[in-house]
Each structure stands twice: as C-alpha cells, then as structure tokens.
Amino acid sequence: MQVAAIIAAGGRGVRFGADRPKQFLDIGGRSILELSVAALAASDRIQEIVVALPRDHVDTGAKALRQAIGRPLVVVAGGARRQDSVANAFAKASKDADIVLIHDAARPFVTRDVIDRAIDGAERHGAAIAAIGVRDTVKQAGEASADGSRLIRATIPRDSVFLAQTPQAFRRDILARALDEGKDVDATDEAMLVERLGVPVHVVEGDARNVKVTTPEDLEKARSASEGSGRRVTRVGIGYDLHRLIAGRPLILAGVTIPFELGLDGHSDADIVCHAVTDAILGAAGAGDIGRLFPDTDPRWKGANSIQLLEGAVARVRDASYRVSNVDVTVIAQKPKLLPYLDQMRANLAAALGVDPSAVSVKGKTNEGVDSMGRGESMSCHAVALLWS
C-alpha cells in the first residue's frame, strides 16, 4: 500500500502577529514546520511527502526542509484557503498513492501511533480522522445577549462529541472527489468535504499531546512542553571496519562492484562501507553493533549482501524511534581510484538509509604508502552518523 502525506502549511498566520508565518517560528531550535514534517518523515509507512507553503516561501522553505529532513519531498505553493493549499499539494502527489494523509503544520507533536491509526482507519473504511473526546460537560448556547451572556439551549452528551485533529487520511479517489466537488465550499478540514459526499468518515483515537499552535500562548506552552519532555534529541555514532585484500573475491563498496584484481576478505560480501555505516547508526542509537546483529559465526550471513544488512540496522534504529539525519564516510584505499564510483555509492547508501543523497558524503583517501593499507594489502572505512528523534 502506497501512502502520500500532505502537510498543509500555506497560511500566513496574519492573526498570530509574528514577523513571519507561524509555521516558521521555532520550538526547541527547530521550526514548527520542520517538526511536523519530521514526524511524518519518520514513518516508514509514508512513501511521499508534499508540503504546501506560502508562495514567497517555497524556494527558501524547500531548501531548509530538505537539509533538515534528509529525505526527498515535494514543495508546492499554497492557495488562498487551506483546501486550496491541499488541492495544490494533492495535484503533485503520486497517482499511485492508495491513501493520502493530510496533516496541519501547526501540529508539531503528532506521534507515530496517531499516524498509524489514521492510515489504518483510511485503509479499512476509506476515510478517517484523528480526534479526541471531550472530558467536560458540553452545552449548546444561543446568541450572545446585550450583557454578553448566552442562554443554554441544550446539554449535549459528551460521549458523542469529539475534537478533530490531524492527520486525516482518505482513499485517494474519495479525496479527489471531495476536493473537486467542494471547490465552492469554505471547509475547515477535508473531512467536512468528504462528509458532503455522503461518505462515512470514521474517528480514530487522537492524542491530547497533538496540540495545534494557534495563538502566541499556544506557542509558549508548546516550547515549555518541548523543553520539559526532552523531545528534541540528536545522537552521534562512529563506525569503523577493515578487511584484507585477497585474490578471487569481488571488491564491493557501498553495494557497488568495482573492477579490481583483488577483493575484500570476509564472511559476508565484506563491504567495509556498509559495515562502518551500520556500526555508526547502531552506535548512535545504542542498539548494539554489526557483530552482534549479524555474527560471522552464523551461516545465514555467509556471503550476505551488506546493503541488506544495513537496511536491517536502519529498521532496528527506527524501532528505537530514531531516524538518520546524515552520514559522512571516508574510505582509505591505496588503489583503485574510487572517484568514478562515489556517486553510485552515495545513492546506494541513501536508499538504504531512507535519506536524500545530499545527506550522504563518501570520500576516498589513500594511506600515503604507509602500513598495510598503503601497501595495498587492506582497505578500511570510517563513518560518522547523526540521528534524531
């Protein structure tokens, strides 16, 4: 199942009174927008992200997001209304998407569980929104009188009242109809447009922490909550690997088979680049090391593809609620020259790590004729990885 996510961030937040749209204000050193996009980017169930920004912020916003998120995304200009921004983003989303998830940029604390519930709800029912039940007694009141008071008309059973949140998720065909037929309707959310079609919209459990930043007071509360929760976490890991060069083995680095008379000796395919990167991300997450996950005493890993081992480590890191921000790799080899292969090595690593190639650096160095590496008897690799949560 393919899932595309839309971030609605096309508003200018004029009522907020800040010097820029509120989605660009920071919480704990990261913009509200970045936090919201990062929350969706951390989901391995979402294959595509489209962000709608104010027209005059598209270029700068896209550059900042791509650097911060380390994952491919599409940025489009928003419209005059929220639903116009969503429609613009929807037009750029893949037509292969089965489910389209929509999230407000102003809700930076959405959790993976809420995202999963919305996707599951849309898959099962066609349309679903995250929402939370009210705890207080709900009263329906009439118009305000001259003194500002209102007359209660009814007490509404609170178990039937829910406060809508995002994400909201829909089958692609349902959302397409709702956006098309609701062009002349001012809707507060996409669920309202879908309801107009007569399509049932189901409620899935939201989260009280999934607050929307609407006022300056909301922003201050969000900043305080972020500081108190230790929500923003970055972790650094270092990886290293060295193997002897021998005849009769292919030379494989970052999944690229490089023409050479010697190859690296090892239990798996001896891909030192993947091994070093694997140890770097596992170390940053405190999730063990490659030797413990894929021991060379286990026949299952005999001749194993190390790109696949790296993908397994990435899954383990994600299970620990971390995501790769970027990696920096240095390969030490007297020969052959690696320059012709570096771009493909970067691309292979980026695909395995789930990041954009711009978040991966691979460099080749010689050892200036010193020691076993300088004599062409071995190769080594150093890697540094940055994770965030």
pLDDT at residue 247 is higher than 90: yes
Sheet-wide strand order for 262-264: 262-264, 234-247, 378-388, 323-332, 360-365
Mean pLDDT of 335-362: 93
Beta strands 48-53 and 323-332, pairing class? unpaired
pLDDT at residue 267 is higher than 60: yes
Mean pLDDT of 34-46: 90
- Structure tokens belonging to residue 153: 């008309």
Q: Which of 138, 99, 133 is nearest to 115 (CA)?
A: 99
pLDDT tens column, 19-34: 788 998 988 778 899 9
275 with 290: CB under 8 angstroms? yes
* Residue type at position 61: G
The mean of the pLDDT values for the chain is 92
Residue-level pLDDT at 162 = 96
- 68 pLDDT band, cuts 50/70/90, is confident
159 CB neighbour count, 10 Å cutoff: 9
Residue-level pLDDT at 227 = 64
pLDDT at residue 229 is higher than 60: no
Give the pTM: 0.63
308 with 293: CB under 8 angstroms? no
91 CB neighbour count, 10 Å cutoff: 11
Decide: residue 130, CB within 10 A, 0-12 exposed, 13-18 middle, 19+ buried.
buried
- 251 pLDDT band, cuts 50/70/90, is very high
Residue 267 DSSP code:
S
pLDDT at residue 83 is higher than 70: yes
Please give the domain boundaries of the chain with CATH numbers for all domains. Answer: 3-229 (3.90.550.10), 234-388 (3.30.1330.50)
- 311 pLDDT band, cuts 50/70/90, is very high
Which 3-state string (H, E, C) describes 121-179?
A: HHHHHCEEEEEEECCCCEEEEEEECCCCCEEEEEEECHHHCEEEEEEEEEEHHHHHHHH
55 CB neighbour count, 10 Å cutoff: 12
